[in-house]
Structure 1
Amino acid sequence: MKTIWILTCLLTPLIWVIPQENTVISRLEVYDLATGQRSVVREENADFEAPNWSIDGDYFVINQNGLLYSVSRNGSEKAEIFTGDARNCNNDHGISPDGSSIALSNNDPAEDAPYGSSRIYTIPISGGTPSLITPEMPSYWHGWSPDSRSVLYVAHRGEDFDIYRKEIEGTEEVRLTGDPGLDDGPEFSPDGQYIYYNSFRSGMMEIWRMRPDGSQKEMMTDDEYSNWFPHPSPDGKYFVFLSYLEDQGQAHPALKRVALRLFDLQSGKIRTLCSFTGGQGTINVPSWSPDSLQFAFVSYEVSQEN
């Protein structure tokens, strides 16, 4: 439940309007590329986010109220994944390509964290005690390398949010972007030849790609929308991404009118698949089915109760 207080400021004393309760309805959905059809897997009168699709195709991982949950493919079963002391997880999490681990981003307690207190951890695929990967905060996970040995993430280190890479067993993080404006949502192509991401470096939020060392940056989209979170399909033919239908600058808010769009990497053509209310939480992380025929996302509805 979210309470919205409406403040009206006049020349006379402040007037507080009686709050109204907003109930968020979340729907875990699957889009089928062959049929163009959407199907609802699970619906709740609650706010959950960011589905990953398991390597075996049998379940999804979502975050809700600071915890991670597995949801069965048909949506009938939902179970908490044990994350130890990491119980303030945000919507940046994902299963390693080898299926052995889950990377998660947890908002750790911090006395002074002006840009956020998220750190990245890994846990065994079935749950367990978290292992710290990024001591510095904030760090928001977004992608695994194809060999499951390193992670891609967004971090604020000094002046701006940029994209970094770090070996799971290593100590040094490598900065891959340094342009003015937000860089976000990095994810490797399945062959490891590119990193896809979104960037504000052109003055609009667009989809870009670069080589794994940060070289050869190339803008992939150039239109009137705010484009976020490119996710390459496992077969390397496409990437799906989120588009805000109204320019949002460098922000990616929730509960806005958005579309999911498909970029064909062979033809360079973009196809709009569907539109709905969403944004933050819809498709923040990798969510393709293992066979590249479907992907998962979350749509939202807000109902008001006076």
Structure 2
Amino acid sequence: MKIKILILCFCISQITFAQQNTVGIFENNVDIGNPKKAGSASYDEETQTYTINGAGYNIWGQRDEHRYLYNKLEGDFIVTANFEFEGDNEIHRKIGWMARASEEDNAVMVGGFLHGDGLTAGQWRERKGADMQNPQDDVWAEKRFYEIIQLERRGDTFIVRAAQRGEPLEEISSKKLEYMPDEVLAGIVIGSHDEDVVETAKVWNVRIDQPVAEDYDPSTEGWIGARMETMNVFNGKRKVVFEKDSRFEAPNWMPDGDELLFNMDGLLYTIPVEGGQIEQLDTGFADDLNNDHVISFNGKKIGISHNDGNGSNVFVLPIEGGTPTAVTREAPSYLHGWAANNKEVVYVATREGNETYDIYRKSIKGGAEVKLTDTQKREHVDGPEYSPDGKYIYYNGSKNGGTMQLWRMKPDGSQKEQLTFDEYNDWFPHISPDGKWIAFISFKPDIELNSHPSYKQVMLRLMPTSGGASRVIAHLYGGQGTINVNSWSPDSKNIAFVSNSAKKE
């Protein structure tokens, strides 16, 4: 049973602005420096891809000529996108991200650029009218045709990063610009390096994120905005289907393949995969849900974690909605997975006398819970999830105060096997319906021990269940609530997740 809620989806493909030169999410579409041949830009709403065309003698020296799609951004930001030239032409042509003090052609500026020959560089002009820094004084990457470029502002410091598809971001350059104003023009750029030629590039997965401060407290300042995204894990193409200026989390892909299920304001909602009207799912008395909702393998039931007044406990209800039935009565208990037989669930819990969380298994019909792990002080386990064939429970765990890594074990808790051995903190392994892939989220090493904070630069990664190296499938600003539950599409080709950015004014 669903309750219709008239809340519109503000997906990128539907954003409109008053300015006539708006293209996609960019409010300004202009030529800088009056190039001989005018540039242009267009936006494909279906694929959320930009085509940008531009000419100009160069982005260099004491002045610039190029095409520019930009927004005015104040304070810190992180902008990320995939870039690709069309055709073969001038080796010094440039595409990438830029931040400028103004539209003046000699303004203070900084950018991260991919050149036509594959060279990637961070470049800047420190003062208005000054020469851009010489290549010998700059920091240059190898000629590797990096596809992903990111520009971050952190106070007065501007950091350029780049990555090839499947790889972590590498820092290309970092520069403090004391004459850059607090409000800048930030956006995507193309320059031809030949005033008689118009170059063309495709730009996709464009994300403009305004992060929170290090001392940000959501309990007093409120939660920042969120986006619902879907992504093809094999080609990396992402699409925003829902945005809101406050928090929502943890999408599941519904069994019919046409809708996503997610939690918001203590309730569950569905939304069409392509975006549109959201509808509340009837969860009866359960109106204080967290992001631990999971769907049974046979698609008939939903498991939830609900604060019943004593803390979080596990309940189940029909997939179409209805009155929940309690599985646990002892809090805190946080649900994470169904058994492949659809008769049991796995969850993490602390019990009297324990300081740490452990993984438990229990029948949805009741009876005794079965403890599957035995964590020690400073250790933690989370995110237990069965493989579709029922042979393993996958989870994340730390040992002896070390980084969080991925593990699996037999359903009786035996044969525990570590799967990742890297410098990151790896959380929430989710197994594809065909059993071939593990999607998971990775935090940098510097987060607090055993934590998974909401507002960090994170990676989504993919690795085979049969073993082998992992690869990065998305760089984003998020964390807790991004991918806490299994969000694979039924055909094992796509996942859904949540990314974050500061509230829109």
Does TM-score exceed 0.5, indicating one fold?
yes
2-structure distance, mates of 1:21, 1:241: 29
Which residue does the alignment assign to 2:374?
Answer: 178
AA partner of residue 237 (structure 1): K
Contact 1:224 1:247 in 2 (8 A): no
Contact 2:245 2:503 in 1 (8 A): no
1-structure distance, mates of 2:435, 2:426: 20
Instruction: Decide which of 165, 168, 180 is 2:364's aligned counterpart.
Output: 168
Contact 1:21 1:304 in 2 (8 A): no
Which residue does the alignment assign to 1:100?
Answer: 300
1-structure distance, mates of 2:332, 2:489: 30
What whole-Å deviation, never above 9, does each CA across 1:156-210 have from its counterpart, x for those lacking one?
0131200000011131100000022111000001111111000012521111111
What whole-Å deviation, never above 9, does each CA across 1:27-66 have from its counterpart, x for those lacking one?
1111102322111121111210000111110111100111
State how 1:153-302 maps to structure 2 within 5 Å: 153-157=347-351, 158-159=353-354, 160-180=356-376, 181-202=379-400, 203-248=402-447, 249-302=449-502
Which residue does the alignment assign to 2:281?
Answer: 81
Which residue does the alignment assign to 2:60?
Answer: none
Deviation, 1:288, is 0.2
Which structure carries more relative contact order (alpha carbon 8 Å, separation 6+)? 1
What whole-Å deviation, never above 9, does each CA across 1:53-98 have from its counterpart, x for those lacking one?
1111011110011111111111102011111111000000011111
Instruction: Decide which of 49, 56, 67 is 2:256's aligned counterpart.
Output: 56
2-structure distance, mates of 1:84, 1:236: 33
AA partner of residue 57 (structure 1): G
1-structure distance, mates of 2:459, 2:471: 10
**1:133 counterpart = 2:327:** yes
Give unpaired runs (5+ residues) of structure 1: 8-19, 111-116
Which residue does the alignment assign to 2:316?
Answer: 122
Deviation, 1:21, is 5.4
Which residue does the alignment assign to 1:67?
Answer: 267
Contact 2:357 2:375 in 1 (8 A): no
Contact 1:102 1:122 in 2 (8 A): yes
2-structure distance, mates of 1:23, 1:87: 19
Give unpaired runs (5+ residues) of structure 2: 1-211
Contact 1:104 1:141 in 2 (8 A): yes
2-structure distance, mates of 1:287, 1:54: 9
What whole-Å deviation, never above 9, does each CA across 1:117-154 have from its counterpart, x for those lacking one?
10011111111111101011110000001121100100
Cα distance change, pair 243–137 in 1 and its aligned pair in 2 (3 A): same
What is the TM-score with the length of structure 1 in the denominator?
0.89
The alignment partner of 1:89 has SS state of coil
1-structure distance, mates of 2:263, 2:223: 18
AA partner of residue 339 (structure 2): S
Cα distance change, pair 125–92 in 1 and its aligned pair in 2 (3 A): same
Report how many aligned residue pairs link the two structures. Answer: 284
What is the TM-score with the length of structure 2 in the denominator?
0.54
> C-alpha root-mean-square deviation of aligned residues, in Å?
1.9
169-178 vs 239-248, which deviates more? Answer: 239-248
2-structure distance, mates of 1:195, 1:23: 33
Which residue does the alignment assign to 2:244?
Answer: 44
Cα distance change, pair 193–255 in 1 and its aligned pair in 2 (3 A): same
What whole-Å deviation, never above 9, does each CA across 1:210-242 have from its counterpart, x for those lacking one?
111000111111111111000011111110000
279-288 vs 20-29, which deviates more? Answer: 20-29
Which residue does the alignment assign to 1:28?
Answer: 228
Cα distance change, pair 23–135 in 1 and its aligned pair in 2 (3 A): closer
2-structure distance, mates of 1:300, 1:200: 26
2-structure distance, mates of 1:267, 1:177: 23
Contact 1:41 1:73 in 2 (8 A): yes
Whose strand proportion is higher, 1 or 2?
1
2-structure distance, mates of 1:303, 1:169: 43
1-structure distance, mates of 2:504, 2:275: 26
Deviation, 1:267, is 4.3
State the structure with more CA Rg.
Answer: 2
AA partner of residue 183 (structure 1): V
Which residue does the alignment assign to 2:344?
Answer: 150
Instruction: Decide which of 274, 290, 307 is 1:90's aligned counterpart.
Output: 290
Which residue does the alignment assign to 1:114?
Answer: none
